[in-house]
Amino acid sequence: MIPELVVREGPETARTRLPAPGQLDVWLVRRPRLETAAELLDLSELDDAERRRTASFVRPTDGITYASAHVALRRLLGAYLGLAPREVPFVREPCPGCGKPHGRPAVAHPDPPLHFSLAHSHGMAVVAVAATVLGADVERLPRDETVEVCTPALHPGEQAELAGLAVEERRELFGRMWTRKEAYLKALGTGLSRDPGQDYLGADRRRRPPGWTLLDLPSGPRHNAAVAVLGGPPERVTVRWVPPTALYAGGTVDLDADGMTTHEPDWGA
C-alpha cells in the first residue's frame, strides 16, 4: 500500500528535509567492489521488481550498480521525505506522448513535494533532487566506433561541433552532449521517444532549449554526467558522494554531509 505523504506548509519540517526553491542537490553513488557487494549491500528495502531487476543483469557489476543506485535513491528520498526507505511511494507520470503511465518517475503525490532523477552507468550513479522538474544522466565514455556510428543521429549543430576533432576529444565531447541531451529528455518526460536530433544541447548555451538550465557534473575520468533543470540557474548546487557504508545494512545517508557547493555559473556547461 502506498503511504500518503503529509502535506507540509514550509520547505522543511521536523520530519522532512525538502529542498528549498533554487536548491539542487546532486548525489554521486559508486558501486561496491564485486567481491564484497553481495555481503554488504542491503537489498531489503528494495521492492520485488527492483530485486528481480537486480538479478536480471548479465554482468554482475551492472546488477550491483543498479542495486546500489536504488538503495541510495530510496535512502536519500526517505531522508528528504521523512519516510522509511521502503515506503517511498514511486509512480510513473503520464507519458507526454501518449498519456500512458510510463513517463517520468516521481514520488506519488498530487503535488509532488520534491522532484528527483536517477541515472546509472558502469559503476556510477547520480541522484539529483530539487523542488523543480529535472532530469539527470550519467554515461560511461563511449568508444570511438560508437561515436562514429551515432553522430549522424545528433542535431546538425552538434554534429558540426564534433566534426574534425581528434579521437579522444570527440569521445569526450560526444559524451558531454549526450548526457545533457538525455538529462533534458528525461526532464521533459519523453525520454528517447523524442528524436535525439531534434534538440541542440551543444556548447553554445544560447542555442539550447529555452526555459531550461543544463549543468555538466563532476564525473571523473571514465564518465560524463549532466543535469537539466526547469527554469533559470539554481541558486545553490551541491554535489556530494553517498558513502559506500550508507548502502550497507543499518546505513543511513547524511543530508548535511560535506560536499562541493557552488553557484551555477561556475559549472554551467
Among candidates 212, 122, 139, 214, which has minimal Cα distance to 179? Answer: 139
Which is closer to other proteins, CB of 9 or CB of 266?
Answer: 266
Name the segment binding other proteins (CB under 8 A); options: 3-11, 12-20, 133-141, 160-168: 133-141
Pairing verdict, β 23-30 and 236-241: parallel
- Taking alpha carbons only, the member of 257, 240, 228, 266 closest to residue 132 is 228
Residue with smaller CB distance to other proteins, 10 or 221: 221
Distance of CA 78 to the CA centre of its chain: 16
> Can residue 60 be called a binding residue for other proteins (CB under 8 A)?
yes
Task: Report the interhelical angle of 60-81 vs 48-56 (nearest 10°).
Answer: 150
Using the rule CB under 8 A, is 49 a contact of other proteins? yes
Burial class for 197, CB neighbours closer than 10 Å (0-12, 13-18, 19+): middle
**Cβ-count burial 55-89 (b if 16+ within 10 Å, e if not):** eeeeeeebbbbbbbbbbbbbbbbbbbbbbebeebb
**Contact between 249 and 263 (Cβ < 8 Å):** no
Is 260 a binding residue for other proteins by CB under 8 A? The answer is: yes
Tell me the CA distances in angstroms from 239 to 95, 96, 192, 263, one per residue in order.
29, 30, 26, 11
Q: Which stretch binds other proteins (CB under 8 A): 17-25, 36-44, 116-124, 206-214?
A: 116-124
Q: Which C-beta is closer to other proteins: that of 17 or that of 182?
A: 182
Q: Rule CB under 8 A: is residue 198 a binding residue for other proteins?
A: no
Nearer Cβ to other proteins, position 110 or 152?
152
Task: List the one residue out of 107, 56, 48 whose CA is nearest residue 79.
Answer: 107
Selected range binding other proteins among 14-22, 90-98, 160-168, 201-209, rule: CB under 8 A: 90-98
| Residue 123 binds to other proteins (criterion: CB under 8 A) | yes
From 15-23, 91-99, 158-166, 245-253, span contacting other proteins (CB under 8 A): 91-99
| Interaction between residue 153 and other proteins (CB under 8 A) | yes
Please identify which residue in the block is written with the cell numbers 557547493.
261
C-alpha cell at 208: 539550447
x/- mask, other proteins, residues 213-242, rule CB under 8 A, reads: ---x-xxxxx----------------x-x-
- Nearest approach in angstroms of CB 76 to other proteins is 12
Residues that bind other proteins (CB under 8 A): 28, 30, 33, 47, 49-50, 52-53, 56-62, 65-66, 69-70, 73, 90, 92, 95, 97-98, 100-102, 105, 118-123, 125, 137-140, 142, 146, 149-150, 152-153, 178, 182, 186, 191-193, 196, 216, 218-222, 239, 241, 260, 266-269
